[in-house]
Amino acid sequence: MRLASGRRAARVASQVFRQLLPTICIAGGLVLGPHADAQTATAPLVFTSGNVGPELSGAAAELYRPQGAAPAAAIVVLHGCNGINPHDRRWARLLAQWGYVALLIDSFRPRGFTEICNRGRLVPPELRAADAFAGEQYLGAQPYVRPDRIGVIGFSHGGWAVLTAVLGGAARPASAPPFAAAVAFYPACNPPATPLETDTLILIGEADDWTPAERCVRWRDLVQTNGHMLRLKTYPGALHAFDALVPPHEFAGHYIGLEPQAAADATAETRAFLAARLTAR
C-alpha cells in the first residue's frame, strides 16, 4: 500500500481488521487494558527448564525446535509492544522451518504487563536486551544448540531492544558473548552510544509513522561499526508492521499493517542474512 492512498484506505481496511481483532487477540493472548504495575520493570528474566515451554504454552519463553540433526544454530525472538501474538509465533515457526532453534521470549506477562504501546519505557529496551542475553545463555547450555551460532531478531519495541543488545555496553553481561547475527524490524533507533558488536540488519518502511525510517538512517550513519556489517533497507510506502498478516489499520494512534512486497522481500533478506552468519560457516 502506498502512502498516497494510505490513510483513507487504511480506515476502510481497519473495518475488516476490527472484525478480525477479537480472534487475533484471543489467539495471541493480547489484552489491550491497563498494565498491572505502575512501576517500570527493572530485573531481567532468567530462563530455566521450569519456565521455558512449547508453542502456545504461555511460558516465559516458548521453544520451537527444527526437524533434522542437532546441534543447530539458534535465534532469540523478541515481540513488539503489544506482547506475544500470532505474528511472533508465525516468525518463530518460520525460523524453525529454516533449521533454527527459536526461543520466543515473553518480556511482559512475567512482569505483570500485557502491553506497553506508547509507554515503551515501562519495560525499557535495555532490560529487554538483558532478557535476550539471558535467552542466549539458556540456549547455549542446551545440547541441541550450537552456542557460537546464536542470533537475535526483534520487531518494533523488540527491534529497539535488538539495537540496544548489539551495542553491548551494560546490557550484555560479562559472561555472555555478543550475538552472532541480529535483525531488527521497524525498530526505534535512538542515537547509538557505544560501538556495534554484531553484524546487524535493519528493515523498515518509509511510510512508518511510529518508528520513522529517518531515525534509523541517522543511527546507521552515526554508529561505529568496528568492522561489523550493518545493512539498512527501507521500503517505499510500507507502514509499521508491514510484515504482519493484517490489513492496514489504525492502532494506538498510528497506521500499521501488511505491505506484501515489502514483507516478502524482508523475509528473503532475513533468511539470507541469517544463513550467511549462522549456517554458512
Picking from 1, 58, 2, the residue whose alpha carbon sits closest to that of residue 28 is: 58
Tell me the pairing of strands 61-64 and 101-105.
Answer: antiparallel
pLDDT computed for residue 117 by the predictor: 97
207 lies in some domain: yes
158 lies in some domain: yes
37 lies in some domain: no
134 lies in some domain: yes
Are 61 and 52 contacting, i.e. CB atoms less than 8 angstroms apart? yes
104 lies in some domain: yes
Element containing residue 205 per DSSP (H, E): strand 200-205
Q: How far apart are CA 60 and CA 179, in angstroms?
A: 21
Instruction: Please report, in tens digits, the pLDDT of each residue of the chain (281 residues total).
Output: 444 444 444 443 444 333 333 323 322 233 223 333 445 667 889 999 999 999 999 999 999 999 988 899 999 999 999 999 999 999 999 999 999 999 999 999 999 999 999 999 999 999 999 999 999 999 999 999 999 999 999 999 999 999 999 998 777 888 899 999 999 999 999 999 999 999 999 999 999 999 999 999 999 999 999 999 999 999 999 999 999 999 999 999 999 999 999 999 999 999 999 999 999 75
- pTM of structure: 0.87
Q: How far apart are CA 158 and CA 83, in angstroms?
A: 10
40 lies in some domain: no
Are 260 and 275 contacting, i.e. CB atoms less than 8 angstroms apart? no
Report residue 175 as a C-alpha cell: 559472561
Beta partners for residue 105, in sequence order = 61, 78
35 lies in some domain: no
What CATH number does residue 92 fall under? 3.40.50.1820
Number of domains in the chain: 1
**Domain that includes residue 165, residue range:** 3-29+47-278
pLDDT computed for residue 25 by the predictor: 32
38 lies in some domain: no
Report residue 112 as a C-alpha cell: 505483570
Which segments of 46-177 does DSSP mark as H helices, in order?
86-97, 125-140, 157-166
